[in-house]
């Protein structure tokens, strides 16, 4: 039977990356996506911007919406302080199954909590289920029409504090027009656009970094 692209991506990690070496996992995925098959990881170019934001925030608590194969969860977890943790939500159980194995190969199971389900269902439950007060950093990389409703939901559920950072992938391609309109015009956020390219291509894309002002 035919394998899926996430399965082939995992096979490339297991073939080319060193167990317990997260940076070799990131490199193996980027090489697979450049040389073999495109896949919707944040990628190396936008990944460097992600790395600089994570390093600057030095977050104790991170929420990622949209795990896919675990590339950005691994990339973020590499840079967390000793007790830092990331909760990553993935709706598609097949993606989640692959991501678990990529995360295990990187040796980051202790720092990454993968939850299978929809953001709209889980966001209201995170405080009680995971004992999280607020998130220092949220990385939005799931369905593009969910960025805005989920941001409003996170505000309502008290998951953001003054200074919390939202970092949104794909604000140009595929694009998140309603989210950009809201976040750039809201007095409750200070936003900055980081121009880049769609992963592994020359197409314009970028990340929007927004600070919640409380």
Ligand X SMILES: O=C(NCc1cccc(CNc2ccc3[nH]ncc3c2)c1)c1cc(-c2ccc(F)cc2)cc(O)c1O
Indicate which of Mg ion, ligand X, none lies near residue 32 (CB less than 5 to 8 Å, by partner kind). none
Is 169 part of the annotated catalytic residue set? yes
Nearest Cα neighbor of 112 from 148, 82, 139, 74 is 74
DSSP state of 18: P
Strands (E), the chain: 61-65, 85-90, 112-116, 135-140, 160-168, 189-197, 204-212
Is 202 part of the annotated catalytic residue set? no
Indicate which of Mg ion, ligand X, none lies near residue 153 (CB less than 5 to 8 Å, by partner kind). none
Q: How far is the CB of 43 from Mg ion (least distance, A)?
A: 9
| Cα 198 to Cα 108: distance, rounded to the nearest angstrom | 26
Both tokens of 166, joined, read 């939202």
Is 199 part of the annotated catalytic residue set? yes
Is 128 part of the annotated catalytic residue set? no
- Residue placing its CB nearer to Mg ion in the complex, 134 or 208: 208
Alpha helices (runs of H) in 79-122, residue ranges in sequence order: 93-106, 119-122
- Residue placing its CB nearer to ligand X in the complex, 170 or 210: 170
Is 170 part of the annotated catalytic residue set? yes
**What does the binding site for ligand X look like in residue numbers (CB under 6 A)?**
40, 65-66, 89-92, 118-119, 141-144, 146, 169-170, 173-174, 198-199
Mind telling me the catalytic residues? 141, 144, 169-170, 199
Under the rule (CB under 5 A), what is the footprint of Mg ion? 141, 169-170
């Amino acid at each position: 039977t035919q394998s899926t692209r996430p399965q082939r991506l995992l096979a490339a990690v297991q073939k080319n990356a060193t167990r317990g070496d997260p940076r070799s996992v990131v490199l193996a995925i980027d090489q697979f996506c450049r040389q073999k098959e495109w896949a919707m990881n944040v990628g190396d170019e936008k990944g460097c911007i992600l790395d600089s934001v994570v390093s600057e925030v030095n977050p104790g608590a991170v929420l990622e919406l949209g795990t896919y194969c675990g590339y950005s969860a691994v990339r973020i977890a590499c840079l967390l302080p000793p007790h830092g943790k990331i909760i990553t939500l993935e709706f598609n159980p097949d993606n989640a199954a692959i991501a678990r194995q990529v995360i295990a190969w990187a040796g980051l199971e202790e720092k990454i909590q993968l939850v299978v389900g929809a953001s709209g269902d889980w966001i209201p439950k995170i405080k009680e289920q995971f004992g999280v007060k607020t998130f220092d950093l949220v990385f939005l990389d799931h369905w593009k029409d969910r960025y805005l409703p989920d941001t409003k939901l996170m505000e309502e559920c008290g998951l953001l504090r003054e200074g919390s950072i939202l970092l949104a992938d794909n604000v140009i391609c595929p694009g998140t027009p309603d989210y950009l309109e809201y976040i750039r015009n809201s007095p409750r956020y200070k936003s900055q656009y980081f121009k880049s390219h769609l992963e592994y291509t020359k197409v314009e894309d970028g990340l929007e970094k927004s600070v919640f002002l409380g």
